Amino acid sequence: MNLGPDNQPVGTLRALPGWSAACLLAAGPLVALPAPQGSGAVSECEAAAQASDWDAAVTVCEEAIRESPDTYGIHYFLGFAYQARQEWTRAGAAFESFLTAVEGLPEDVARPEEQLGIAARSAGLAWFRGGDLETALPLLRRTAEAEPADAEVHFFLGVGLMQRGDAEGAEAAFSIVVREAPQIHQARFFAAQLRYDAGDYEAAGAHLTRYLEAAPSGPLAADAHWMAGSIALRRSESETADPGAAGEARSHFAALLEVEPDSPRAAVAHYFLGTIAADREECDQARRHYEDFLRIAPDHERASEVRRYLEEGFAPCPAPAGNSPNSQGLC
């Protein structure tokens, strides 16, 4: 999985909602319950948050909590401030403090339901980005159940469930993302990965095709080409061999090499490309791919076999002159 420095998938998601001035203004009445009379720190906390002055908000809201620990709205504002500064663990803790305080109110006190939903969502995403999957997942599930069309939450929920090994739950979450927000291309890739791991290569291949059409230069393009090439290679070797499958595999492995020319799986791609070229009697290409395989992975378990091919020749290609590897050797 390709995650960025803040532990979120690269290049797919919009900014977290909930830190707009409108959202903060909507929460304004929270600060008055049960803020003490003349609480300057509480007023400064609210003002700094509404002005998006996040550094000041952290300072004055922390002071407001010390001054008025039972004013639960302060934690809500503080959560946005830490979220804006990408201090994910602190943001998650602040939002959870708000949730705990509000949910512990007496039954006859009205609850700010909209803010509760925003806080639960924000806490789940913050804990996820902070790397605390165990704390994040219940909050993400809570939000997903309350907002079944929230594609961003379902995406993170799917990623978290994949990491936990819950393939069925992850696939269900990604299916919602694919339906509700097809622009989050990585959801389709992860759906493909789950189908591939389950042995459903036809469904996996369909997802990979759609992913590569939508994000040909995406952060997971190399992984997609690798899987798609492997699926095509399987089809080319099956009992009902697809005559175009070898060419499809060749295209995907070549695309992989453009992205990562010297990786361990690039070596395996060269091996497969060499084999496909040899089957097509393209001997010069086959030799070049086999030699690149040996250059990248000289100790691979098939390296000695490939060296023997190059030294002795391989059908229908004879050994090069001098009985030694020669990248210029021709049939």
Alpha-carbon span 29 to 39, nearest angstrom: 14
Radius of gyration of the chain (CA): 28
Beta-carbon contacts of 162 under 8 Å, excluding residues fewer than 6 positions away, are 1, 170, 190, 193, 194
Does 172 reside within a domain?
no
Does 55 reside within a domain?
yes
Beta-carbon contacts of 237 under 8 Å, excluding residues fewer than 6 positions away, are none
3-state SS string over the chain?
CCECCCCCECCCCCCCCCCCHHHHHHCHHHHCCCCCCCCHHHHHHHHHHHCCCHHHHHHHHHHHHHHCCCCCHHHHHHHHHHHHCCCHHHHHHHHHHHHHHHHCCCCCCCCCHHHHHHHHHHHHHHHHHCCCHHHHHHHHHHHHHHCCCCHHHHHHHHHHHHHHCCHHHHHHHHHHHHHHCCCCHHHHHHHHHHHHHCCCHHHHHHHHHHHHHHCCCCCCHHHHHHHHHHHHHHHHHCCCCCCCHHHHHHHHHHHHHHHCCCCHHHHHHHHHHHHHHHHCCCHHHHHHHHHHHHHHCCCCCCHHHHHHHHHHEECCEECCCCCCCCCCCCC
Alpha-carbon span 53 to 84, nearest angstrom: 10
**Roughly how many angstroms between the first and final C-alpha of the chain, as a whole number?**
43
Domain range for 96: 1-142
* pLDDT at res. 284: 92
Does 72 reside within a domain?
yes
Alpha-carbon span 271 to 228, nearest angstrom: 16
Task: Tell me which residue has tokens 């959202």.
Answer: 23
Question: Tens-of-pLDDT digits for all 331 residues of the chain?
Answer: 433 333 444 333 333 333 333 333 333 334 334 444 445 777 888 889 888 899 999 999 999 888 888 888 899 999 999 999 999 999 999 999 999 998 888 877 778 888 999 999 999 999 999 999 999 999 999 999 999 999 999 999 999 999 999 999 999 999 999 999 999 999 999 999 999 999 999 999 999 999 999 999 989 999 999 999 999 999 888 767 678 899 999 999 999 999 999 999 999 999 999 999 998 899 999 999 999 999 999 999 999 999 998 998 887 887 765 433 322 222 2
Q: What is the CATH number of the domain that holds 67?
A: 1.25.40.10
* pLDDT at res. 320: 65
Facing residues of 314 across strands? 317
Query: How far lies 59's CA from each of 52, 86, 99, in Å?
Result: 13, 16, 21
Does 223 reside within a domain?
no
For the whole model, what pTM was predicted? 0.80
Does 157 reside within a domain?
no
Alpha-carbon span 150 to 221, nearest angstrom: 25
Number of domains in the chain: 1
Facing residues of 260 across strands? none
- Residue 160 · residue 153 · CB < 8 Å: no
| Nearest Cα to Cα of residue 287 among 273, 301, 299, 298 | 273
Does 162 reside within a domain?
no
* pLDDT at res. 10: 34
Does 119 reside within a domain?
yes
Query: How far lies 320's CA from each of 188, 281, 292, 307, 331, in Å?
Result: 46, 15, 17, 12, 8
Does 94 reside within a domain?
yes
